[in-house]
């Protein structure tokens, strides 16, 4: 008994005849075969057991008699045909025709010796025709039926991962479509001028219909809040907690995986493969977790790529998918560990460590062990602490380890069921290659001569900021949109040329010394509407770009173009405002600083990959409040002109916490004309930098919409004021700043939603993920 199960425990399921569908008839024929395989018929002595079983007439006769006794004839000839072909393939022998048993009378059949399970498990040598006892046949039949039921249900549950995410994505697309239709309908209402109101000044009641109570409740309790504790951008120890809606999705996914790993196990009594029931269960659980882990692989790759189709169709940002990426990977790793532990336990129980060592010699086996180990390492090297403190180390190990995992996983599953499971490996490779290709395409679409993209970097010590100016010729492929970001590669040092970091496009300057905002769909050529790049006092140029083009001589070092680049006829440029931190950004700052001292902007060769990111549909909101800190100002700057060109925007407020007066001065300088628009208010809160104070206050005085205060803004109060002013109209709150600030803004939005301001919507432009 024990020897039998020992041998059969690891009888590879994939080597049994493959079945197209669950058809009890199949398991009946195969059950007869399984029962008779215990006997060694001695009417042939050629080669291996497999070859002997193809050549033995005693065996074939026994098999046919068994089938005739226990099985429905439906499907029989097909099964025999397949068995015959298998024999021709492996033994160059054909099975005798089925009618060799036609001559057996019922009398003769009744006299044929019956093979009992007890006898069969001694592996008898047989010199005569045998028929398995009915109870023995039943055990063989249920063994097969249960085992193959499991094989099929593993596969079905594997595909459930895709149904789950399919539903999630469908919900995302659905809500996006509904809000799109809603905004189109609002625009239609606006387009009907009444006797009192014109198109330019829509009546408030037409301008915005408050959303339904159900939608407001959804926002208040599900989509806007942090999962708990008002911590969303801020990490909790070594963890980051996604927003509530994402956490709920992830929770549902985890629950689904737990359920699918715990149900539908058919443990049968007297199982011939795995007589001990706990071993049977281990085997099924290990296979289930293995299959689910593998099925999750393409999802991990899909959610982790920069160019993810799902981002385009749902409008959810990289951050959301990155959270899904992490959690699917964690679930898959836990499943892989259970799978490996299960097989280790099974092998150890049967043959101890010597047997385990023997298994380690098998190619598929050690590859599987390595895949699990490397998946665990991958998880360990992805902890938030390392990601934050050593981003490049994290990224490099992440890529190397994921290649190793994919390779070892491939070799682990390639031999099973004719390589069927590799259908979960190839999509990972395809997604990865596609992502890299699209990255390359984005680089090329920005500049076909990608190796020759020149940029100028200027470092301002007083602002502690690098201004990166990238001239470009507008192509049809890429059109800078407000709120999008680009990955920047710095090619000046080949050692670091592969490193690329995301930066939000702050604004676009046009030729002839003017700046134009990105995203005005009507006017995207180089001569489009422009923002002056000089102090307001120094020229009378207007924001709409109908000015003379004299460049300012007292241009601010930070935001104004360098003398050479501001000469008439220069090409338009993308402007990035970059805060130096420790890695990539500090090298950029050093590079820029060395040249800036020499009063010439530093010219460097870069690659620009973009634009990325869904552009928040802010122009659908009559009231917009930006709450930003430091370089987060890039987000409102990028939207500013585009929003003000829309008649549906009634008020736009920017609350900006900034450390350096000089930074504030430079922005006010650059955007003076835009800030003169009566709908705009800029509340600047200068939190440090006492010496520069007077200068900034002077700056603020010159411009209508600018108010300068000292100390941090009270984010909660700001949101409440804005909600009160908006009343029942729709208000978009956009946060981009330090984590604490963003979390406060999120919390305040939940608060005002709870107080009945249904029109409030929260957007977060995260600077990290």
Ligand X SMILES: Cc1cc2nc3c(=O)[nH]c(=O)nc-3n(C[C@H](O)[C@H](O)[C@H](O)COP(=O)(O)OP(=O)(O)OC[C@H]3O[C@@H](n4cnc5c(N)ncnc54)[C@H](O)[C@@H]3O)c2cc1C
Ligand Y SMILES: NC(=O)c1ccc[n+]([C@@H]2O[C@H](COP(=O)([O-])OP(=O)(O)OC[C@H]3O[C@@H](n4cnc5c(N)ncnc54)[C@H](OP(=O)(O)O)[C@@H]3O)[C@@H](O)[C@H]2O)c1
Sort strands 485-490 and 602-612 into parallel, antiparallel or unpaired: antiparallel
- Considering only residues 707 through 746, tell me which ones interact with ligand NAG, judged by CB under 6 A: none
Look at residue 457 and give its three-state secondary structure. strand
Q: Rule CB under 6 A: say whether 125 interacts with ligand NAG.
A: yes
Closer by beta carbon to ligand X, 233 or else 651: 233
Look at residue 708 and give its three-state secondary structure. strand
Asked if the peptide bond before residue 611 counts as cis, ω within 30 degrees of 0, the response is yes
E-strand ranges in 510-562 read: 514-516, 531-532
Closer by beta carbon to ligand Y, 348 or else 581: 581
Q: Rule CB under 6 A: say whether 116 interacts with ligand NAG.
A: no
Closer by beta carbon to ligand X, 58 or else 531: 531
Question: How far is 309 from 635, CA to CA, in rounded Å?
Answer: 24
Q: Rule CB under 6 A: say whether 521 interacts with ligand NAG.
A: no
- Cβ at position 37, least distance to ligand X in Å: 58
Look at residue 731 and give its three-state secondary structure. strand
Q: Rule CB under 6 A: say whether 688 interacts with ligand Y.
A: yes
Q: Rule CB under 6 A: say whether 95 interacts with ligand NAG.
A: yes
* Vertex 466: Cα angle to 462 and 469 (nearest 5): 135
Q: Rule CB under 6 A: say whether 84 interacts with ligand NAG.
A: yes
- Considering only residues 557 through 586, tell me which ones interact with ligand Y, judged by CB under 6 A: 579, 581
Closer by beta carbon to ligand NAG, 47 or else 711: 47
From the list ligand Y, ligand X, ligand NAG, none, pick the one residue 387 interacts with, judged by a Cβ distance below 5 to 8 Å according to partner type.
ligand X
User: Residue with the closest Cβ to ligand NAG?
Assistant: 127
Sort strands 680-686 and 760-764 into parallel, antiparallel or unpaired: unpaired
Among residues 298, 629, 705, 759, the one that binds ligand Y under rule CB under 6 A: 629
Stretch that binds ligand NAG, among 94-102, 187-195, 466-474, 677-685 (CB under 6 A): 94-102
Which residues contribute to the site for ligand X (CB under 6 A)?
A: 387-388, 391, 485, 501-504, 576-579, 581-586, 631, 634, 767-769
| Residue with token string 């025999």 | 80
From the list ligand X, ligand NAG, ligand Y, none, pick the one residue 584 interacts with, judged by a Cβ distance below 5 to 8 Å according to partner type.
ligand X
Using CB under 6 A as the binding criterion, the count of chain residues that bind ligand NAG stands at 11
From the list ligand NAG, ligand X, ligand Y, none, pick the one residue 501 interacts with, judged by a Cβ distance below 5 to 8 Å according to partner type.
ligand X
- Considering only residues 691 through 720, tell me which ones interact with ligand Y, judged by CB under 6 A: 712-713, 715
- Cβ at position 77, least distance to ligand NAG in Å: 7
From the list ligand Y, ligand NAG, ligand X, none, pick the one residue 94 interacts with, judged by a Cβ distance below 5 to 8 Å according to partner type.
ligand NAG
* Vertex 459: Cα angle to 454 and 464 (nearest 5): 140
- Cβ at position 584, least distance to ligand X in Å: 4
Q: Rule CB under 6 A: say whether 94 interacts with ligand NAG.
A: yes
Among residues 80, 140, 528, 745, the one that binds ligand NAG under rule CB under 6 A: 80
E-strand ranges in 357-399 read: none
Q: How far apart are the first and last CA of the chain?
A: 57
Question: How far is 665 from 168, CA to CA, in rounded Å?
Answer: 46
Question: How far is 324 from 181, CA to CA, in rounded Å?
Answer: 28
User: Residue with the closest Cβ to ligand Y?
Assistant: 630
Distances in whole angstroms, Cα of residue 386 to Cα of each of 236, 249, 381, 383, 390: 15, 26, 7, 6, 5
Q: Quick one: which H or E segment has residue 573?
A: strand 573-578
Closer by beta carbon to ligand Y, 140 or else 742: 742
Whether the Cβ atoms of residue 742 and residue 717 lie closer than 8 Å to each other? no
Q: Rule CB under 6 A: say whether 92 interacts with ligand NAG.
A: yes
Among residues 158, 368, 511, 630, the one that binds ligand Y under rule CB under 6 A: 630
Sort strands 485-490 and 651-658 into parallel, antiparallel or unpaired: unpaired
Q: Rule CB under 6 A: say whether 57 interacts with ligand NAG.
A: no
Whether the Cβ atoms of residue 572 and residue 510 lie closer than 8 Å to each other? yes
From the list ligand X, ligand Y, ligand NAG, none, pick the one residue 127 interacts with, judged by a Cβ distance below 5 to 8 Å according to partner type.
ligand NAG
Q: Rule CB under 6 A: say whether 122 interacts with ligand NAG.
A: no
Beta pairing partners, 653: 625, 681
Closer by beta carbon to ligand X, 306 or else 642: 306
Nearest to 675 by CA among 631, 723, 617, 633: 633
Closer by beta carbon to ligand NAG, 98 or else 391: 98
From the list ligand Y, ligand X, ligand NAG, none, pick the one residue 391 interacts with, judged by a Cβ distance below 5 to 8 Å according to partner type.
ligand X
Stretch that binds ligand Y, among 78-86, 424-432, 449-457, 735-743 (CB under 6 A): 735-743
Handedness of CA 221, 224, 230, 236 (dihedral sign): positive
- Please list the alpha-helical segments (H only) found in 41-75: 49-55, 57-70
Q: Rule CB under 6 A: say whether 730 interacts with ligand Y.
A: no
Q: Rule CB under 6 A: say whether 202 interacts with ligand Y.
A: no
Look at residue 130 and give its three-state secondary structure. strand
- Considering only residues 136 through 165, tell me which ones interact with ligand NAG, judged by CB under 6 A: none
Structure tokens at 553: 């001589």
Closer by beta carbon to ligand Y, 29 or else 318: 318
User: Residue with the closest Cβ to ligand X?
Assistant: 583
Stretch that binds ligand Y, among 316-324, 368-376, 502-510, 736-744 (CB under 6 A): 736-744
Sort strands 573-578 and 500-509 into parallel, antiparallel or unpaired: antiparallel
* Vertex 726: Cα angle to 721 and 729 (nearest 5): 150
Closer by beta carbon to ligand Y, 100 or else 395: 395
Look at residue 509 and give its three-state secondary structure. strand
Closer by beta carbon to ligand X, 109 or else 387: 387
Q: Rule CB under 6 A: say whether 98 interacts with ligand NAG.
A: yes
From the list ligand NAG, ligand X, ligand Y, none, pick the one residue 744 interacts with, judged by a Cβ distance below 5 to 8 Å according to partner type.
ligand Y
Look at residue 4 and give its three-state secondary structure. helix
Question: How far is 565 from 533, CA to CA, in rounded Å?
Answer: 11
Closer by beta carbon to ligand X, 577 or else 604: 577
Q: Rule CB under 6 A: say whether 738 interacts with ligand Y.
A: yes
- Cβ at position 465, least distance to ligand Y in Å: 8
Among residues 17, 97, 419, 754, the one that binds ligand NAG under rule CB under 6 A: 97
Question: How far is 154 from 132, CA to CA, in rounded Å?
Answer: 31
Whether the Cβ atoms of residue 517 and residue 482 lie closer than 8 Å to each other? yes
Closer by beta carbon to ligand NAG, 127 or else 174: 127
Q: Rule CB under 6 A: say whether 17 interacts with ligand NAG.
A: no
Among residues 632, 636, 700, 705, the one that binds ligand Y under rule CB under 6 A: 632
- Cβ at position 612, least distance to ligand X in Å: 8
- Please list the alpha-helical segments (H only) found in 583-692: 584-597, 634-644, 661-670, 672-675
- Cβ at position 317, least distance to ligand Y in Å: 15
Nearest to 680 by CA among 652, 643, 657: 652
Q: Rule CB under 6 A: say whether 91 interacts with ligand Y.
A: no
Nearest to 558 by CA among 673, 697, 675, 660: 660
Structure tokens at 217: 């409740």
Q: Rule CB under 6 A: say whether 724 interacts with ligand Y.
A: no
Among residues 670, 744, 759, 764, the one that binds ligand Y under rule CB under 6 A: 744
Distances in whole angstroms, Cα of residue 723 to Cα of each of 203, 215, 414, 750, 758: 19, 17, 59, 11, 9
Nearest to 639 by CA among 629, 622, 624: 624
The residues that touch ligand NAG, with contacts defined as CB under 6 A, are: 42, 80-81, 84, 92, 94-95, 97-98, 125, 127
Query: Residues interacting with ligand Y, by CB under 6 A?
Result: 579, 581, 629-632, 657-659, 687-688, 712-713, 715, 737-738, 740-741, 744, 767
């Amino acid at each position: 008994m024990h020897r039998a199960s020992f041998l059969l425990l690891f009888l590879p399921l994939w080597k049994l005849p493959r079945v197209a569908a669950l058809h009890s008839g199949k398991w009946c024929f195969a059950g007869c075969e399984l029962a008779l395989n215990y006997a060694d018929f001695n009417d042939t002595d050629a080669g291996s057991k497999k070859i002997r079983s193809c050549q033995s007439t005693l065996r074939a006769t026994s098999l046919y008699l068994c089938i005739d006794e226990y099985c429905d004839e439906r499907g029989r000839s097909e099964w025999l045909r397949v068995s015959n072909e298998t024999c021709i393939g492996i033994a160059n022998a054909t099975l005798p025709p089925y009618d060799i048993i036609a001559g057996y009378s019922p009398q003769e059949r009744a006299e044929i010796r019956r093979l009992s399970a007890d006898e069969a498990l001694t592996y008898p040598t047989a010199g005569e025709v045998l028929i398995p006892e009915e109870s023995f046949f039943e055990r063989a039949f249920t063994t097969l039926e249960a085992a193959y039921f499991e094989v099929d249900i593993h596969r079905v549950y594997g595909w459930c991962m895709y149904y789950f995410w399919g539903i999630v994505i469908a919900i995302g697309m659905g809500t996006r479509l509904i809000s799109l239709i809603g905004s189109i309908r609002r625009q239609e209402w606006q387009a009907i001028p009444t006797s009192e109101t014109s198109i330019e000044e829509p009546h408030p009641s037409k301008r915005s219909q408050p959303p339904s109570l159900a939608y407001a409740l959804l926002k208040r309790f599900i989509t806007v809040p942090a999962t708990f504790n008002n911590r969303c951008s801020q990490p909790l120890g070594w963890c980051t907690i996604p927003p509530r809606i994402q956490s709920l999705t992830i929770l549902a996914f985890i629950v689904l995986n737990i359920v699918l790993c715990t149900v539908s196990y058919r443990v049968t009594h007297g199982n011939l493969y795995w007589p001990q029931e706990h071993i049977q269960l281990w085997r099924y659980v290990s296979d289930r977790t293995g299959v689910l882990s593998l099925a999750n692989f393409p999802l991990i790759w899909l959610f982790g790529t920069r160019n993810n189709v799902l981002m385009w169709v749902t409008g959810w940002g990289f951050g959301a998918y990155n959270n899904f990426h992490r959690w699917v990977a964690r679930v898959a790793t836990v499943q892989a560990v259970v799978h490996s532990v299960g097989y280790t336990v099974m092998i150890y129980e049967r043959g101890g460590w010597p047997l385990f060592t023997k298994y380690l010699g098998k190619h598929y086996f050690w590859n599987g062990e390595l895949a699990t180990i490397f998946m665990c390492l991958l998880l360990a090297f992805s902890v938030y602490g390392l990601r934050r403190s050593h981003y490049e180390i994290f990224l490099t190990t992440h890529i190397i380890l994921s290649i190793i995992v994919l390779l070892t996983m491939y070799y682990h599953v390639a031999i099973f069921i004719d390589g069927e499971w590799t259908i979960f490996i190839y999509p990972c490779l395809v997604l990865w290659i596609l992502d890299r290709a699209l990255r390359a395409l984005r680089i090329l679409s920005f500049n076909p001569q990608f190796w020759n993209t020149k940029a100028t970097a200027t470092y301002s010590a007083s602002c502690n900021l690098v201004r990166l100016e990238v001239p470009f010729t507008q192509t049809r492929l890429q059109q800078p949109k407000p709120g999008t970001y680009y990955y920047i590669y710095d090619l000046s040092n080949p050692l670091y040329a592969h490193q690329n970091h995301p930066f939000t496009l702050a604004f676009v300057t046009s030729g002839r010394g003017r700046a134009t905002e990105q995203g005005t769909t009507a006017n995207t050529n180089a001569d489009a509407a422009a923002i002056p790049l000089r102090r307001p006092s120094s020229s009378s140029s207007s924001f709409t770009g109908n000015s003379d083009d004299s460049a300012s001589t007292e241009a601010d070092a930070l935001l104004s173009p360098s003398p050479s680049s501001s000469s008439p006829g220069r090409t338009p440029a993308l402007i990035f405002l970059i805060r130096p931190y420790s890695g990539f950004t500090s090298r950029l700052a050093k590079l820029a600083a060395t040249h800036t001292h020499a009063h010439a902007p530093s010219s460097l060769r870069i690659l620009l990959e973009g634009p990325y990111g869904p552009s928040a549909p802010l122009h659908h909101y009559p009231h917009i409040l930006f709450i930003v800190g430091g370089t987060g100002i890039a987000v409102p700057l990028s939207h500013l002109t585009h929003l003000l060109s829309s008649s549906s925007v009634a008020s736009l407020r920017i609350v900006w916490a900034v450390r350096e007066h000089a930074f504030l001065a430079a922005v006010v300088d650059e955007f003076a004309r835009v800030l003169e628009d009566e709908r705009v208010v800029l509340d600047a809160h200068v939190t440090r930098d006492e010496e520069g104070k007077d200068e900034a206050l002077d700056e603020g005085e010159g411009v209508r919409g600018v108010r300068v205060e000292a100390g941090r803004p009270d984010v909660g109060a700001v949101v409440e004021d804005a909600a009160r002013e908006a009343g029942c109209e729709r208000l978009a709150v956009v946060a981009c700043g330090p984590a604490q600030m963003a979390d406060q803004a999120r919390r305040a939005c939940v608060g005002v939603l709870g107080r009945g301001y249904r029109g409030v919507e929260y957007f977060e432009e995260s600077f990290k993920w």
